[in-house]
Amino acid sequence: MKVYRPAFTPEDLQHYHRVVAHSLDVRSHFDVLIWLQGDIQRYLPHEILIAAWGDFDSDHVHHDIISTLTGVRTRDFNDSTVTPLLTGLFKKWTEFGRKPFNYNAGESGFLLADSALQSELGTALLSMRSAMVHGISDERGAHDCLYVTFSVNDTYTDDERGAMTMMLPFIDMALRQVEHLPSQLHGEGAHDHSAAVRLVVAHDLSEREFEILQWVTVGKTNPEIGLILDISEFTVKNHLQRVFKKLNVTNRAQAAGKFQALTANV
């Protein structure tokens, strides 16, 4: 069967190569977010990306949620919240021959389990009109991986479906380079030996403090961090004061330097 490929101009190819090259630089969830919300949107437009892995037949599935939408974060939803939706899409992907396919929800949007309908993710998915589903079949490992992009657009085009085929190996590779979030540290697959985990444990950082420290390290200001995390600038400042005390530093430059030094081997 012929596999569809989008027709790229020479300019498109150069741009595509730059996007792919940037995937090699991904090291954190924030890197993934910046990468997916940047030039890759030209080929694969979406508001939410959910990555899932595990045993879909037994509903033993883990997930990561990547989005700029307020409150739509991995840490806010346990695996059981999104598993029914993901296992259903995995089944459809298998029935479709394990090729990328579009799922158009129309005005009804996408539904989560009843317990999550009133959550930020539940509300966001109700506003999504289409999804594109594709996966990676892991023949040597213990699980498959499923990737679902959700969009407010009515449907995905053939070009975008072709781009999904080409981009997915790089998206998969990028996410495999990323440590688990602090909220996932005690779950299955957490890497308790990592420098990032040691930093959190040794200095008693909360998940929010660790998150703010990462944004400080990439140069974001307090107002910018507040907008990203949907909290006030005053709250960001208070969190940072506690971070400074815990890290035994006096300013954000010292905190960023210490963070970079302690996580250099992540």
> How far apart are the C-alpha atoms of 218 and 174, rounded to whole Å?
18
Place 153 in a pLDDT band, splitting at 50, 70 and 90.
very high
Q: Model's pTM, two decimal places?
A: 0.68
The secondary element (H helix, E strand) that includes residue 172 is helix 158-176
Place 128 in a pLDDT band, splitting at 50, 70 and 90.
very high
Q: Which of 7-11, 186-190, 250-254 has the highest mean pLDDT?
A: 250-254
pLDDT at 49 over 60: yes
For the chain, domains (ranges, CATH) are 10-178 (3.30.450.40), 195-262 (1.10.10.10)
Return the HEC string of 31-60. HHHHHHCCHHHHCCCCCEEEEEEEECCCCE
What pLDDT is stored for residue 188 in this prediction? 42
Per residue in 53-111, pLDDT (tens digit) is 888 888 788 889 999 888 888 877 777 788 889 999 999 999 999 999 999 998 889 98
Q: What is the mean pLDDT of the chain?
A: 82
- Which 8-state DSSP code applies to residue 108? G
> How far apart are the C-alpha atoms of 92 and 88, rounded to whole Å?
6
Place 179 in a pLDDT band, splitting at 50, 70 and 90.
confident
